[in-house]
Each structure stands twice: as structure tokens, then as C-alpha cells.
Structure 1
Amino acid sequence: MNFSTQMDAAKKGIITKEMEIVAKKEQMEVNTLRKLIAEGKIVIPANKNHTSLDAEGVGQGLRTKINVNLGISKDCRDIELELEKVKTAVNMKAEAIMDLSCFGKTEEFRKRVVEISPAMIGTVPIYDAVGFYDKELKDITKDEFLKVVEKHARDGVDFMTIHAGINRETAAVFKRNPRLMNFVSRGGSLLYAWMELNNQENPFYEYYDELLEICEKYDVTLSLGDACRPGSLKDSTDPSQIKELMTLGELTLRAWEKNVQVMIEGPGHVPLNEIAANMLIEKKLCHGAPFYVLGPIVTDVAPGYDHITSAIGGAIAAANGADFLCYVTPAEHLRLPTLDDMKEGIIASRIAAHAADIAKGVPGAIEWDHEMSQARRDLDWEKMFELALDEEKPRKYRKESMPEDKHTCTMCGKMCAVRNMNKVMDGKNVNILRDDD
């Protein structure tokens, strides 16, 4: 039986090879997975032209996934460094990579990323439009916007952020309800500017059916972007954000009618006490579609440490239903991230995702922690390093500060509670001042 997309296959009762891969990874019965894909509650972003892909699922009942943003800008255009970041991100077990390149001809870099990456690949085509056509924003036509989308789809991109929800209605709500930070979404601000400069409707909203035809043709998952995400705690959960989310819910249903998979992108800067409500609102208004959150960043005053503010918000968001975390690095709000910034962002996001998976009862999540606890009880340092989320850093710390008693560490030495409890429980003497018998 033929099918056009993973959703189409799922509706027809077909088990694809990607579904089998994801079901095995997630310890989920494959027909349960298929049913949730048919309902739109799980997506498997898998472009037909991304032949190096190792499929992952995003959505209800699955492990929380993380995304890594990278790509060149006008000020930082070292393609080889960005490719090194791609390889490092894959080695550090990121499930997704978004190429956010926003300068020059991005095609070469995008194709190389798709070629080498088993992780799913995302892009924001509007970033590419200005450079692709070498035209100012105002002069780009709706057909040209759609052609860039099709170009990215043809190149093998698995999911695309499209800011279709910032239509004239949403813009009117924004104008009536002033914000401290206006728009902080790069793609959303570009589309809003295009609409204002041309006095026209958002082309991705007006010609949404044509966009869906492209997505269905290549099986591109539509990641409906949040142009109105708050960039300040003062703007969180405001009328603009909620109005756009309502529109995204309507667009979700239209996409599902065409068998196009959908994710919803969510809030940026949100105080702790509003995160759970934001997750509930998204799931309600967008009919259970997977939620891809940017942060949330829980305080505005920690530049240089926003990987931490984001991990705090991400853990709470995912524990309350978010499915996909976009990592944030220490360089957020400050510069294009370095390789080391990227590494710190990945680790922080993976910690947040795993902590949430424990809270959600994801199969196999807490067992990893139990294995670590057993290795700690056994004072099996090698096993601890092997189980560590980041093996490199704990090995480095251990090597830099070796204790007199190799079973302990330099914090407690022979007063180590684990060492001494093991001895007592085994009926042995506890020697702290003298060597063991």
C-alpha cells in the first residue's frame, strides 16, 4: 500500500521502517506508536531525501528530545567549525540539529549537514530567503518564499519552522497590547516587517495549502513557529502569545487533513509559576500536538548562564507535557555560540530532558539512575564514568584530584560514608586513621 507521509501511513494501518526503529528505541508497542502518529500526538520527522537519518519520535509517552541550534552568520561564517559542531552534537547524543544559517548561500552547508547527520535536521527557510535571492526583505514575493521552502525540503530537511500564525488578526492583537520586548523571534519579526512594509497578509498563512503540499510531497514535519513568544517575563502568557497559539491550533487541524505532521513551538521567557499552565494551554488549543519549547528561560537577569535558566525551565516544562527541548547555551543573548558553549548547552538540556523523563515515568528512564546509584555504592569509579551523561568531565575531575585511598575521593577520604557503610554492613572494621587490615 502506498503512503505519502508517516501520518498517512499510520492512518492507513501501515507500519513503516521508521516506526519500527522508534518503537524499539522507546520500548513502545509499535501499533500504539502508529495510533498516536495517526492522531497527531507523535511525529517522526523523516524527510524522504534524508538517507542518513536514524529516526526519532517526538511526542506523547516518548523520551524528551533535545535540539541543537547552529549555523553561520555574517559575523561568524566558518563553515568547517559549524560542521565540527554538527559532529560533536551527534556524538553527544542530540536527537536534532537546526541549521539557522542566516548569511549568504546556505545550500552547501545545509546539504553537508543532511549528508553526514543521523540526527533529524531542521531549518527556518525565511532566514535563507534574503541571501538566496540577494533581495531586500520587502521585495521578496510569496512565490519566492515558497520556493525557498521547497528547496529546503528537496535538500532533505526533516522539519521546518514556519511562522504561519502571525497573521493580520494576531498582528492587530499585538498592536492593541503593547509589549516590553515586542517580537524576539527572528523569523517572526521578519514576517511581521514584510507584512507591514507590503500591507499584505503573511504569505505562509494566506497560501498555507500550498505550503502543506510541499510538506506532504517530501514528508517534512511542520514546526509551527511562535513569532509572538515572550522575550521578557513581563510579556509572558499575554494576549499576543495566546492569540497566535489559537491560530496555530487551527492550522494544525488543516495540516492533519493533508497528512502533514505538526509540532508546535512554544514560549521563550516564562516565570516558573506559569510554565505548567503554558504546557496545558498548548496541548488544549493545539489538540495534543507535540510541543517544542524554546527554554523556557525563567529569569531575564542571568546572561552568560542562560543554559542554566533554560534547563530549569525545560525540566519543568517537559515534566508538565513538553516533548522537545531547544537547547540554550551560555552565549544566549550575547554571541554566536562557540564549540564549548554548544557542549555546555547540550549537557544542560540533556539533564533537563532526563529529569523530566523520570517525572513522566518514561520507560527505562529511572533505571539509568538506579545503575549509577549501584555503581556509587560499589565505589566502582569506572562504571560511574561509563554511566555518566558526560563521561569526559568526571574523568577529568577524578584525574586532577586523586585521593590517598583510591576507593574514595578527596572530599571525604576515609570518612567516605559509602566506604564505611559498606564495611560495617559486611561486618568489617572501619579504619580511618590507620591502613586497613
Structure 2
Amino acid sequence: MEYKTQMEAAKKGIVTKELAAVAKKEGFTEAELLPLVASGRVIIPANVRHKSLDPNGVGEGLRTKINVNLGISGDCADYCAEMQKVQLAVQFGAEAIMDLSNYGKTREFREKLIEYSPAMVGTVPVYDAVGYLEKDLMDMTAQDFLKVVRAHAEEGVDFMTIHAGINRRAVEGFERSKRKMNIVSRGGSLLFAWMKMTGNENPFYEYYDEVMDILREYDVTISLGDALRPGCLDDATDAGQIGELIELGNLTQRAWEKDVQVMVEGPGHMAMDEIAANMKMEKRLCHGAPFYVLGPLVTDIAPGYDHITSAIGGAIAAANGADFLCYVTPAEHLRLPDLSDVREGIVASKIAAHAADIAKGVRGARKPDNEMAEARQRFDWDAQFRLAIDGEKAKAYYESVPASDKHSCSMCGKMCAVRTTNRILNGESVEILQNETKK
């Protein structure tokens, strides 16, 4: 039987090589995974032209995945530096990389990224439209925006953020809401500006069926962008955000009718006590489609430390149903992140994702933690560094102030609780001020 997309194949009972690979990674049987993909509750973003892809699944019952944003900007057009970030993301096992380039040779960079990256690659076509077509925003036509979608699909992009939910009704609601931060989504703001300047409907909403036809042809997953996501705590869970989410639920079903895989994007800033309800609301309104969240950042007053505010919110979000976390770096709100920022952002996001997987009982999630506990109990430092999310940093810390012997670290020395208990249980003495002897 022929098929165009992973979803269509699953509906027909066909086990693709990508589905088989995901089932093996996640500890699922193929029979268990097929209905999840067929119903849209799990996606496997895998453009037919992305030949270097190591496929991953996102959604119900699977490990929480993370995404790393990077790309060329007008103020920092260093292609080599961005490729170093790509390599770092791959080294740390990030499952997705989003190229948010909006300046210069975006196509050349994206082609190199897709050729190299085993991680799924995402883009936001509206970011690239001005540079790709060499037209200013006011001069764009609806078909121009669709041309960029097709170009990215042909190049091998696995998923695209498309802000189709910010239609005229949503704009009217936003304008009535009098938000503190207005629109903080870059793609959403560009479409809002285009709509207001031209008087036209959002082209991605008006021509949504045409967009689906393009995505279906290459099996590109649509990531339904949240143009009206909150950019500060005070704007969270307001009418604009919820109204757009309802529209995204309708667009999800329309995509599924075309066998196009879908994930839905969620809030950026939100108080901790609102997160769980928002996760459940998305799953209800968007029919169980995977949820992709930026953060949420749980406070607005920690610039320079927003990888931490994001990790707190991300852990709560994923534990309550979010499936995919977009990393946030310490440079968020301040500048383009450098390599060190990217590393900190990746590690913080992986911690949040793993902690959430333990909380929601994902298959095998506790295994490395149990192995770490055993390695610590027997002072197997090499095993500890191997199991650590960032083993290189852990080893550097351990070696920077060496302990007097390998059965402790320099924090506790001979007063190490694990060392003391091990010696007593082994029938040995514990003498802090002199050399100890075995009994």
C-alpha cells in the first residue's frame, strides 16, 4: 500500500521504518504505537528528504523531547558559530533543532543543517520570507508566504511553525484585551503587522488547505504556532490566548483530515499555579495532539537566569502532559545566545524533561537514576560521569578539588555519609582523625 505521511501509513496499519525505530527507542511494541500515530496523539516528524534523520516520536506515553533554537540574525551573522551550536545540540542528544535564521544566506545554512543533523529540523517560514524573497513585509502577497513554506518543505524540513490561528477574529479579541506585553511571538507579530497594513486575512488561515497539501507532499509536521502566547505572567490564560487555542483545535482536526501530523505550541510565561490546568486544557481543546511549550517561564524578573525559570515551568508542564520542551538559555530576553548559553539551556531543559518523565511514569525513565544511585553507593566515579546529563562538567568539578582518597569527594572527606555507612556494614572501623584499618 502507498502512503504519503506517517499518519496515513499508521491509519492503514503500515509499520514504517521510522515507526519501528521509534517503538524500539521508547520500549513500545509496534502494535502499541500504531494507533497513537494514527490518531495524532503521537507524531514522528520525518520529511522524506531528510536523509540523515534519526527519527524520534513526540507525544502520549513517550519520553519528553527537547528542542534547541539557533540561527543567523542581522546582528550576529556567524555561520560557523551556529554550526558549533548544532554540533553541541547533537552531542547532548537534543531531539530537535529549530533554525530561526532571518538574515543572509538562510538557505545555504539550512541545507547544511539538514544534511548534517540526525535531530529533526524545524523552521518558521514567516521569519525567512523577507530575506528569502527579498521583499519587504508590506510587499508580500499571500502566495509569497506559501512559496516559502514549499521551499522549506522541499529542502527537507521536518516540522514548521505556522501561525495559522491568528485570524481576524483573534486579532479583534487581542485588540480588546489591552495586554501588558501585547504580542511577543515574532511570527505572530509579523503576521499581525501584515494583516493590519494590507487589510487581508492571515494567509496561513485563509489558504490553510493549500498549506496542508504542501506539507502532506513531503510529510512535514505542522507545529501550530501560538501567536498570542503570553509574554508576561499578567497576560497568561487570557481571552486572547484561549481563543486562539480553540482555533488551533479546529485547525488540528482539519490537518488530520489531510493526514498531516500536528503538534500545538503553548505558553511562554505563566505562574506555576496555572500550568497544570493549561496543559489539560490544550489536550482537551486540541484533541490529544502533542503539546510543545516554550518554558513556561514562571517569573518575569530573572533575566540572565531564564534557563532556570524555564526549567521549573517546563518540568511542571511536562509532568502534567506537555510532550516537547523548547529550551531557553540564560541569554533569553537579552541577546543571541553563545555556545556556553546554549549548553546551559540544553542541560536545564533535559533536566526538566527527565524529571517530568519520572513523575509521569514514562517507560524506563527511572533506570539511569537507579544506576546512578548504585554507582554513587560504590564510589564508581567513571560510571557517575557516564550516567550524568553533563558528565564532562561533573568530572571537571570532581577533579578541580581532589579528595584525599577516591571513596569520597572533597566536600565531606572522611565524614562522607555513604563512606561511613559502607565501612560499618563491611565490618570496618570509622576513625576520622587517624588512619582507618580494616577489621
Is the TM-score greater than 0.5? Answer: yes
Instruction: Report matched runs for 1:330-341 at 5 Å.
Output: 330-341=330-341
1:436 matched residue in structure 2: 436
Secondary structure at the residue paired with 1:35?
helix
287-296 vs 135-144, which deviates more? 135-144
Which residue is 1:233 aligned to?
233
Q: How does the TM-score come out when normalised to structure 2?
A: 0.99
**1:230 CA drift (Å):** 0.2
1:325 alignment partner, SS class:
strand
The CA distance in 2 between the partners of 1:406 and 1:435, in whole Å, is 15
Aligned-pair CA distance for 1:421: 0.2
CA distance in structure 2 between the partners assigned to 1:424 and 1:80 by the alignment: 55
Q: Supply the distance in 1 between the matched residues of 2:294 and 2:381 (Cα, whole angstroms).
A: 36
- Residue matched to 1:400: 400
| 2:264 corresponding residue in structure 1 | 264
Q: Report how far residue 16 of structure 1 moved.
A: 0.2
Distance 2:254 2:105 in 1: 32
Give the distance between the partners of 2:33 and 2:228, measured in 1 at CA. Answer: 32
Q: String of CA shifts for 1:38-96, please: whole Å, max 9, x gaps.
A: 00000000000000000000000000000000001001001111011101110111000
Task: Give the Cα separation in 1 of the matches to 2:265 and 2:406.
Answer: 49
Write the distance in 2 (CA, Å) between the matches of 1:120 and 1:132: 22
* Structure 1 length-normalised TM: 0.99
**Unaligned stretches of 5+ residues in structure 2:** none
The one-character-per-residue Cα deviations of 1:342-398 (angstroms, maximum 9, x if unpaired) are 000000000000000000111111111010001111111111111111111111011
The size of the alignment, in residue pairs, is: 437
How much has 1:134 moved relative to structure 2?
A: 1.4
CA distance in 1, matches of 2:3, 2:90: 30
Alignment of 1:3-402 (within 5 A): 3-402=3-402
Is contact 2:124–2:160 with CA below 8 Å preserved after alignment? yes
Q: CA shift at 1:132, angstroms? A: 1.1
CA RMSD of aligned residues (A): 0.6
CA contact (8 A) 2:67 2:94 kept: yes
Query: C-alpha displacement at 1:239, in angstroms?
Result: 0.3
Structure 1 runs of 4+ aligned residues shifted over 2 Å read none
Which amino acid in 2 is paired with 1:147?
K
Distance 1:80 1:415 in 2: 48
Letter of the 2:84 partner, please give it.
E
Select between 225-234 and 399-408 the one with higher mean Cα deviation: 399-408
**What is the deviation of 1:219?**
0.1
1:295-352 per-position Cα deviation (integer Å, ceiling 9, x unaligned)? 0000000000000000000000000000000000000000000000000000000000
- Unaligned 5+ residue runs, structure 1? none
Identity of aligned residues (%): 65
SS in 2 for 1:365: coil
**Distance in 2 between residues matched to 1:180 and 1:270, nearest whole Å:** 14
State whether residues 379 and 406 of structure 2, in contact with CA within 8 Å, keep that contact through their aligned partners in structure 1: no
Alignment partner, residue 409 of structure 1: 409
Question: Deviations 1:90-109 (Å, cap 9, x if unpaired)?
Answer: 01110000000011231000
